[in-house]
Amino acid sequence: MLKLENVSKFYYNKGIIASGFTKVNLELKIGEFVVITGESGSGKSTLLNVISGLDSYEEGEMYINGKETSHYTEKDFEEYRRKYIANIFQSFNLINSYTVYQNVELVLLLNGYKKRKIKKKVLKIIDEVGLTEFKNTKVSKLSGGQKQRVAIARAMVKDTPIIVADEPTGNLDSESAKDVIEILKRVAKDKLVVIVTHNIEQVEEYATRIIKMHDGRIAENREIRKIEKEPEVEESKYSKITILNKYRLGIRNTFNIVSKFCLLFAVFFFMSAALLTEYAGFEESEELAGQIGYSNMFSDLSENRILIKKQDKTYFTPEDYAKIKALPNVDYIIEDDLFIDGKVAIERQEMQFYGNMLPIEDYKGTVNVGRMPQNNNEILLKTNKEHYYIAERIEDVLDKAFTVTEFDSEDKLSDLTVVGIVYNENNDDYESKFYVSKDVLAKLRTSLTKMYSDIKILLNDKYVEYGILPSSQVESGKAIIGEDLRYEFKNGVIKDKPIKINVSNIYYSQDLDLTISSAFTKSNFRRLTGYEKYDMYRYGIFINSDDYDNLYNKPSYQSSVYVKDAKLIDVTLNELQNLGLSPKKITDYKVEDGKIYKQIMRIIKLFVTIVLVVVLFFIAYLIIKIILKSRNVYYTTLRMLGATYKSVIRILDIELFVNSTLAYSAVLGIMYLVKLNIINNKYIYELTNYLGLKEYVLMYIILVLISRLISRRFSKKIFKDTAINTYNEEV
Ligand code: ADP
Ligand code: MG
């Protein structure tokens, strides 16, 4: 069966050559029970390793069944081992985290047996080595003698023609040693057993040949009983491991060591969280970048906003608004654009809040503190919960009167009482909203329009810089000016002279032609105008209140539509066009477009994601390598039992895949609970807004790819050297 001719084995170690054994000549037949002895370091183990194809040799020739092996590749030896060799080691080389049954079964799983065919065979052999009552016990709990019997059972179940045992009794007490030898002898029938031992007496009665080694050479080769005729060699049957069995082992390995499972889970959990957070963070930045840009006219430049005017340039009617509201992508309409773009501040003493004024009718939510407004001059204040005046001095805000800053009392935008407070949804948002009555809004509209409008007054064919003021005392179509302005007129004649007024802004241009009815003096100022402070208004031009309203308080010619989904904004634009409107995206008014920032953001995102993936890969690989270090023995054992490179990768792949999938699901689970508000975390909540199915799938694929790369790298390491070298390195 086996023949060695002048075979030598050298070890090369950092330039130093050591001899394992030299010029060994040996012929071994099936049916023999060969005992090898010799002092430590004499080359016994080296010889066994070469015979079992676990290690290479450098000189001479070894024949297997008459075939030369000097040209054998690692793969050829792998096949040889699978067909012919079963190893038993002094240190057992069992999988400690597996039960007795699983250890024995493992050989068959790796060699392509189907699960249902395995059971009977495994149980029978466990019975033969007397371990039936321990079949479901983890190997780590067994005594040394029991462990070696498991190792023998594992060697037996493979049913190979050659069994190689290197000091199988070396770690056992004499009683257990005897048992083991006896079992081996029983097994040895019709096989070739090669056993290394120091205890010649124990094996002498069975041995057919005793070999003594000394200093790397065979010192004595004594044949005790001659094998007349070598029986037919029956190669061990094997095929590739089935896919199902790979999964079985992969899943078994995922859970069989709890601490390892938890550590790997933690690593994958962290990786999943890091990937998702990073990606969501960039999605957010990308969106914000898209909003970059400014406009002189509009303060709200959000992507969802569309400006609308009617194509016939008339003002909007309630029916128009109803039609617009009925469009599917329309979220809401702000009828008066001024209330979006004209931000105001309300103040009381040193307190100030800044934001938009909006109609109370549009407010649909609840009130956090206080109540809803009931009277014209009452305000519902929506602001940040952590705003200093809200958090610390709410008693100075609630039920107190505020004034709209920059509008003097003549505009009657004072004494607005805050009766209710609502908190902003977003705690980072420090802007406020003031919900007020239609009446207040009308005054505000007039004041705001005045602020945003240009006024030209043509007095006696000369443009002047005086201001106009509304007064109910003045007749419509007439104007009253002060005596002080008399010098502006030819010959000092004021009465019946024309005044042309033009008010223009981004929405409209309005002319008003008036004639002067009279001039006031300090003494008749109050009677003619209804105003008190002569000194303040002596250069004012007083006109009728309705005329004044006609200049400034117009129905809306322009409104804003907010869409639900900005991605579909072009569809909505079309629909609005079809309704007879001229719609325009607010983003078209941006002086600087966010698109370029968005693109830059996207490139940065891609770059950072790649860097992160690489960094995560290396961190994870290092940690997982340490975690799996204890598993090297497992994988080299698999290899010794006949597992191929590919199947080892696969089994590890599956283990990491199952673990990473569980970890990823856990992260998603937590995000879901946050989304449902069962777990409260603002940060995670906001991130989830930027992640959709596409992102979740993408990140999962990246995670699985990383775990695959790790298993590949790890397996490569295990297979980079001969089986025994890798094993020795790891033990
Ligand atoms: P035994 O099993 O008889 O105790 P070994 O076969 O283990 O002896 O060792 C034989 C010789 O080979 C010894 O001199 C030992 O130092 C050397 N040797 C064994 N393994 C290695 C190795 N991996 N690298 C270098 N030298 C080795
Ligand atoms: Mg040895």
Per-residue pLDDT tens digits for 619-629: 888 888 888 87
CATH code: domain of residue 74? 3.40.50.300
Nearest 5°: phi and psi at 634? -60, -50
User: Is residue 34 over pLDDT 90?
Assistant: yes
- Using the structure block, give the residue that is written with the tokens 């979220």: 331
Do residues 235 and 83 make contact, with C-beta atoms less than 8 angstroms apart?
Answer: yes
Q: How confident is the model at residue 409 (pLDDT cuts 50, 70, 90)?
A: very low
Are both 132 and 264 inside the same structural domain? Answer: no
DSSP letter for 371, please: -
Q: What is the mean pLDDT of residues 406-427?
A: 76
Give nearest CA residue, ligand 1 atom 5.
Answer: 43
594 lines ligand 1 (CB under 6 A): no
Classify residue 35: in a domain, yes or no: yes
71 assigned to some structural domain: yes
Q: Of the given ranges (260-274, 371-385, 417-431), which has the lowest mean pLDDT?
A: 417-431
pLDDT at position 467 is 86
Which whole number is the average pLDDT over 697-714? 91
pLDDT of residue 406: 62
CA proximity to 536, closest of 466, 476, 433: 466
> Are 568 and 590 within 8 A, CB to CB?
no
Which one, of 446, 606, 459, 616, lies nearest residue 541 by Cα? 459
Structurally, the chain folds into a number of domains equal to: 5
Say yes or no: 539 and 461 in one domain.
yes
- Residue 615 CA to ligand 2 centre (angstroms): 43
Beta carbon of 42 within 6 Å of any ligand 1 atom = yes
Whether 296 maps to a domain, the answer reads no
Average pLDDT of the residues of the chain: 87
Q: What confidence tens digit (pLDDT) does each residue in 631-671 have?
A: 777 888 888 887 888 888 999 999 999 999 999 999 999 99
Q: Domain check: are 440 and 561 in the same one?
A: no
Lowest-pLDDT range of 256-265, 347-356, 483-492: 483-492
If you average pLDDT over each of 220-224, 339-343, 621-625, 646-650, which comes out highest?
A: 220-224
Does position 593 have pLDDT exceeding 80, yes or no? no
Average pLDDT rounded to a whole number, residues 8-34: 91
562 and 479 in one domain?
Answer: no
Together in a domain, 507 and 647: no
Boundary residue ending a domain (536, 552, 568): 552
Question: Is the pLDDT score of 336 beyond 90?
Answer: no
At residue 163, does pLDDT exceed 90? yes
Q: Are residues 467 and 406 in the same domain?
A: no
In tens, the pLDDT along 40-91 reads 999 999 999 999 998 889 999 999 999 999 999 888 988 898 899 999 988 8
pLDDT at 42: 94
Higher pLDDT among residues 445 and 109, named by residue: 109
**DSSP 8-state assignment for residue 306:** E
* Joined tokens for residue 19: 């001899």
195 and 313, same domain (yes or no): no
pTM over 0.75: no
pLDDT at 300: 74
Q: Are residues 80 and 192 located together in one domain of the fold? A: yes
Helix (H, G, I), strand (E, B) or coil at 71: coil
Domain boundary among 542, 570, 591: 591
pLDDT band at 592 (very low <50, low <70, confident <90, very high): low
pLDDT in tens, 85-140: 999 988 888 999 899 999 999 999 988 888 888 999 999 999 999 999 999 999 99
Same domain assignment for residues 474 and 388: no
Instruction: Kindly state if the Cβ of 44 falls inside 6 Å of ligand 1.
Output: yes
What is the pLDDT at residue 594? 63
**Residue 116 CB burial class (10 angstroms; 0-12, 13-18, ≥19):** exposed
Domain range spanning residue 583? 305-334+556-591
Residue 85 and residue 87: Cα distance in Å, rounded?
Answer: 6
Over residues 476-485, mean pLDDT: 92
Same domain for 94 and 158, yes or no, is yes
Residue 501 lies in a domain: yes
Label residue 198 by pLDDT band (50, 70, 90): confident
What is the per-residue pLDDT for 297? Answer: 61
Number of Cα atoms under 13 Å in the Cβ half of residue 640: 28
Domain boundary among 449, 477, 502: 449
Task: Give the atom of ligand 1 at the shortest distance from the alpha carbon of 47.
Answer: 6
Q: What is the Cα–Cα distance from 7 to 5, expressed in whole angstroms? A: 5
Distance (Å, rounded) from C-alpha 3 to C-alpha 5? 7
Q: What percent of the chain lies above the pLDDT cut of 70?
A: 95
Q: What is the spatial distance between Cα 101 and Cα 643, in angstroms, rounded to a whole number?
A: 18
CATH (domain of 566): 3.30.70
- Distance (Å, rounded) from C-alpha 202 to C-alpha 342? 103
Q: What is the pLDDT confidence band of residue 513, given thresholds at 50, 70 and 90?
A: very high
Contact in structure between 619 and 333 (CB atoms under 8 Å): no
639 and 495 within one domain: no
Residue 516 lies in a domain: yes
13 lines ligand 1 (CB under 6 A): yes
Nearest CA to 652 out of 725, 722, 717, 697 is that of: 717
Residue 728 CA: which ligand 1 atom is closest? Answer: 23
Q: Which residues contact 378 (CB under 8 A, 6 or more apart)?
A: 416, 417, 418, 419, 436, 437
Ligand closest to the CA atom of residue 22: 1
Give yes or no: residues 313 and 348 share one domain: no
Ligand 1 site, residue 726, Cβ cutoff 6 A = no
Task: Looking at the CA of 36, name the nearest ligand.
Answer: 1
Residue 294 lies in a domain: no
- Please indicate, yes or no, if residue 291 is contained in any of the structural domains: no
Does 117 map to a domain?
yes
Atom of ligand 1 nearest to the CA of 18: 26
